[in-house]
Amino acid sequence: MAASVEKQAGASETGVECDVVVVGAGFGGLYALHKLREIGLSVRGLEAAPDVGGTWYWNRYPGARCDVPSLFYSYSWSPELRREWRWTNRYAGQEEILNYARFAADRLDLRKLIQFDTKVARATFDEKNERWIVETDRGGRLGARFVVMATGGLSVPNTPDIPGVADFEGAIYHTARWPQEPVSFEGKRIGIIGTGSSGIQAIPMIAQAAKQLVVFQRTPNFSVPARNRPLTDEDHESFDAGLDAYLASLEQSDFGRVPPTAFTADVPPRDAQWKHYEKLWQEGGSGGFLKAFPNILVHPGVNEVAADFVRQKIRETVKDPKTAAALSPEGYPFGVKRLCVDTDYFDTYNRPNVELVNLRDEPIEKISVHAVDTAARHFELDALVFATGFDAVTGALLAVDIRGRDGATLKDAWSEGPQTYLGLTVAGFPNLFTITGPGSPSVIGNVITNCEYHVDWIAECVTHMRRYGLATIEPDEEAQVAWGRHVAEVADRTLFPKANSWYLGVNIPGKPRVFMPYIGEGYRTTCKEIVADNYRGFTFGEAAVREQAAAE
């Protein structure tokens, strides 16, 4: 294994030879650096931002908050980190989460391993030497046996190409690239495009500050209240008391949005559902809704009651019936586009300074120097906010020119949609790992624990390779095809494909319509079985046996 690269960090990357290059310093990348260093590998991190945190570094728009409860949206593997960090709110805000990532990086002494402000431009597998050559946008060139892509599923912003946008002379913001310096909307006329999770969080906050807020909505979303609140001592005590059970449950957890009972469960009576949803609505948060009944995401009749319930809440909250109707999602099932979680979102439309523009009735025709023109109206604006989401799951992987065996590009390999084995590896791209990649639970559920599982899997795999002197690992084409088919079959048995969501890539023009996350139960079990069955579906290259023998 290559000598430690720690002392070289901070200098130019050129000439660095290490065991592993980790791309990205969000929660997945930070844990990968820590874990792989812990098992004795020399590691080097490359990060485009000037700091750690990944998506939580960039998404600092007003109202940005995680909708997984903070006590769970934390590293589960370290009792020390857990003891030394105390979350303040049921749902942590962006700043607190970013501070947690910084705290973890400092506490684990990871910063010296990371080259910040550095984007990976290209990664090429050198077949002769069985090493990756990683090239950066700063002209750096590193060599590594393994590349771990910890680039995140929600990291490449999507900015739609609306005619005239370049002419707009006011400020333009994107929720996923929010400026570091404070942004004041005081006394200004603001337009916001997009009503997904980011828009739904930002809209109530911007409305409080702006003189006027115009919301340009294409598709209304289902949203449930967060009911965020400060955590009490009792909350912490009760979490600590249940910690062992929680950690054990994670160990056995099979992730999966859709439980095996989903297809055989009884249809609960409408009244019982309604009562249960009312309770969940008062408690707040999305987790309860998504597993309210085992068949909520597979049975159209059961799902429709949940959809009706939310529409009823919208009608009760929004005073203007026309606005309430425009805000009510119709024509696609509940919970199969990412369920939004809000604070006072629907109530915000009762404010006199907020106007909803239904783009289905009056699409945007053009943006000009000071205005947005729809098919029906002209809106003079001082600033525009794009809350238009991401090129999700595959965007950051395909943003790097990745070349595997025979110079084949990942872009070509995925031209008809991503293909992976377990969402972790790609046929023809040896020793390349994709943390929370397509075909894994990925962006579903708690992404931090999803990342942890992948990092642990990679560490175990590399340990196995070292033990047996194996140089390369890559999945067999047949195993990959079968896994891809399974991922699609599971999704097709649910209501998920019935909505035009970013899970399917349809928000990006030209992106193949493929359901990207694995939503079945049994992911961890399958991964463990494959390992126990001598890494079924993988081929290992054995050149390292000779390499090691020669070195000894």
CA 268 from chain center: how many Å? 32
Instruction: Figure out which of the listed residues 198, 228, 323, 358 binds ligand NAP, where binding follows CB under 6 A.
Output: 198
Output DSSP code: residue 232.
Answer: P
Determine the interface stretch with ligand NAP among 190-198, 305-313, 376-384, 479-487 (rule: CB under 6 A): 190-198
Which of the residues 167 through 186 are near ligand NAP (CB under 6 A)? Answer: 175
Determine the interface stretch with ligand NAP among 237-245, 383-391, 414-422, 539-547 (rule: CB under 6 A): 383-391
Whether the CB-CB separation of 29 and 155 falls below 8 Å is answered with no
Cα angle for residues 137, 141, 146 (degrees, 5° grid)? 110
Instruction: Figure out which of the listed residues 13, 19, 67, 521 binds ligand NAP, where binding follows CB under 6 A.
Output: 67
Burial of 50 per CB tally in 10 Å (0-12, 13-18, 19+): exposed
| 197 near ligand NAP, judged by CB under 6 A | yes
Task: Tell me whether strands 189-193 and 171-174 are parallel, antiparallel or unpaired.
Answer: unpaired
The binding track of 114-153 with respect to ligand NAP, each residue x by CB under 6 A or -, is: ----------------------------------------
Pairwise CA distance, residues 347 & 340, whole Å: 15
**Closer CB to ligand NAP, 488 or 506, in the complex:** 506
Task: Look up residue 269 and give its two tokens.
Answer: 């009576």
**Closer CB to ligand NAP, 134 or 340, in the complex:** 340
Determine the interface stretch with ligand NAP among 188-196, 288-296, 482-490, 543-551 (rule: CB under 6 A): 188-196
Burial of 466 per CB tally in 10 Å (0-12, 13-18, 19+): middle
Residue closest to 20 by CA, chosen among 147, 134, 136: 147
Burial of 486 per CB tally in 10 Å (0-12, 13-18, 19+): middle
Instruction: Figure out which of the listed residues 41, 314, 359, 422 binds ligand NAP, where binding follows CB under 6 A.
Output: 359
Whether the CB-CB separation of 172 and 313 falls below 8 Å is answered with no
| 387 near ligand NAP, judged by CB under 6 A | yes
Task: Look up residue 297 and give its two tokens.
Answer: 């995401």
Cα angle for residues 129, 133, 138 (degrees, 5° grid)? 160
| 295 near ligand NAP, judged by CB under 6 A | no
Shortest Å distance, C-beta 511 to ligand NAP: 12
CA 383 from chain center: how many Å? 27
Instruction: Figure out which of the listed residues 389, 428, 445, 537 binds ligand NAP, where binding follows CB under 6 A.
Output: 389
**Closer CB to ligand NAP, 66 or 424, in the complex:** 66
Dihedral over Cα of 408, 410, 413, 419: its sign:
positive
Output DSSP code: residue 442.
Answer: T
**Closer CB to ligand NAP, 198 or 358, in the complex:** 198
Shortest Å distance, C-beta 228 to ligand NAP: 10
From residue 394, give the alpha-carbon distance in Å to each of 92, 218, 436.
Answer: 27, 24, 10
| 196 near ligand NAP, judged by CB under 6 A | yes
Instruction: Figure out which of the listed residues 199, 335, 438, 484 binds ligand NAP, where binding follows CB under 6 A.
Output: 199
| 201 near ligand NAP, judged by CB under 6 A | yes
CA 157 from chain center: how many Å? 12
CA 513 from chain center: how many Å? 18
Which of the residues 204 through 243 are near ligand NAP (CB under 6 A)? Answer: 218-219
Size of the site for ligand NAP (CB under 6 A): 26
**Closer CB to ligand NAP, 448 or 471, in the complex:** 448
| 449 near ligand NAP, judged by CB under 6 A | no
Please identify which residue in the block is written with the tokens 């550095």.
118
Whether the CB-CB separation of 27 and 76 falls below 8 Å is answered with no
**Closer CB to ligand NAP, 164 or 541, in the complex:** 164
Nearest residue to ligand NAP, scored by beta-carbon proximity:
196
The binding track of 495-514 with respect to ligand NAP, each residue x by CB under 6 A or -, is: -------x----x-------
Whether the CB-CB separation of 58 and 178 falls below 8 Å is answered with yes
Output DSSP code: residue 222.
Answer: -
**Closer CB to ligand NAP, 182 or 509, in the complex:** 509
| 73 near ligand NAP, judged by CB under 6 A | no
| 293 near ligand NAP, judged by CB under 6 A | no
| 154 near ligand NAP, judged by CB under 6 A | yes
Q: DSSP of 129-145, one letter per residue?
A: TTEEEEEETTS-EEEEE
Instruction: Figure out which of the listed residues 390, 429, 515, 538 binds ligand NAP, where binding follows CB under 6 A.
Output: 390
Strand partners, 93: 65
The binding track of 319-348 with respect to ligand NAP, each residue x by CB under 6 A or -, is: -------------------x--x-------
Determine the interface stretch with ligand NAP among 26-34, 45-53, 382-390, 466-474 (rule: CB under 6 A): 382-390
**Closer CB to ligand NAP, 142 or 156, in the complex:** 156
Pairwise CA distance, residues 70 & 86, whole Å: 10
Shortest Å distance, C-beta 533 to ligand NAP: 33
Instruction: Figure out which of the listed residues 66, 104, 210, 258 binds ligand NAP, where binding follows CB under 6 A.
Output: 66
From residue 246, give the alpha-carbon distance in Å to each of 77, 314, 365.
Answer: 12, 35, 51
Shortest Å distance, C-beta 490 to ligand NAP: 19
Whether the CB-CB separation of 116 and 50 falls below 8 Å is answered with yes
Pairwise CA distance, residues 446 & 17, whole Å: 34
Q: Which residues bind ligand NAP (CB under 6 A)?
A: 65-67, 154, 160, 175, 193-199, 201, 218-219, 338, 341, 359, 387-390, 443, 502, 507
